[in-house]
Chains A and B, each alone.
Chain A
Amino acid sequence: DTEVTQTPKHLVMGMTNKKSLKCEQHMGHRAMYWYKQKAKKPPELMFVYSYEKLSINESVPSRFSPECPNSSLLNLHLHALQPEDSALYLCASSQAPSLPAKNIQYFGAGTRLSVL
């Protein structure tokens, strides 16, 4: 099973709202990722968690706040977003951080976010 599950599938929010995106995997993977993807563009890395610790933050604005409560779950908390933050947010996981032989990334289906 190479399933990464993301909820919700779609989200519409106003600029003053607070919402959260969720990602779950039960493959025993110890690295989890958040990406942002605009239409017809490649995924842009936002955050990487390795063994539940934040290891990479690609200078993402503080209105995006990641959280990794345990090895299976990854959240992205959203607050005071801007219309330009509208995009597809993808979660991914890989088996073992920092082991090149175990770094195949499996993507979730994404949350399509619209900020009004």
Chain B
Amino acid sequence: GENVEQHPSTLSVQEGDSAVIKCTYSDSASNYFPWYKQELGKRPQLIIDIRSNVGEKKDQRIAVTLNKTAKHFSLHITETQPEDSAVYFCAASGITGNQFYFGTGTSLTVIP
């Protein structure tokens, strides 16, 4: 089955700096890669996703890049704000579409 690794497990940045979280996956058949943000005690919220026919996608301060050859994808947050503090999970999904394989999560702290 698919194996998704996520790094780093914790990340602290100063407000206004950029944050980058990286994930690798093992199954070349995976073709959908969402990123979820989960604040303490709340539900995972989809913040951005990318499909394998696209190399990069951007939504305001958030961007995701995908390198299919190397089997890795990354989340980039620019101009970080304290409200960006949360746990971020990457995931990969394959042909069936039903099963998401989650990374282990990154706890991001933005220091005011």
Contacts and interface: CB of A to CB of B under 8 A. Distances in A.
Interface of A: 31, 33, 40-43, 45, 48, 50, 55-56, 90, 94, 96-110
Given A56-B99, A98-B98, A99-B97, A104 B46 contact: yes
Contact of B97 (A41, A100, A106): A100
A97 B97 contact: yes
A31 B98 contact: yes
Give the interface size bracket for B toward A.
20 to 34
A94 B93 CA distance: 13
A96 to B, nearest CB: 8
Given A90-B44, A107-B36, 8 more contacts: A43-B102, A56-B98, A102-B97, A103-B32, A107-B44, A107-B45, A109-B42, A109-B43
Interface of B: 31-32, 34, 36, 42-46, 49, 51, 87, 89, 93, 95-100, 102-105, 107
A18 B104 CA distance: 32
B93 A103 contact: yes
Contact of A42 (B31, B45, B89): B89
Nearest to A31: B98
Nearest to B103: A42
A5 B85 CA distance: 25
Given A40-B105, A103-B32, A108 B97 contact: no
Given A56-B98, A99-B97, A102-B97, A40 B44 contact: no
A45 B93 contact: no
Contacts of A33: 98
B95 A45 contact: no
A106 B93 contact: no
A42 B97 contact: no
A35 B49 CA distance: 20
Contacts of A43: 44, 89, 102
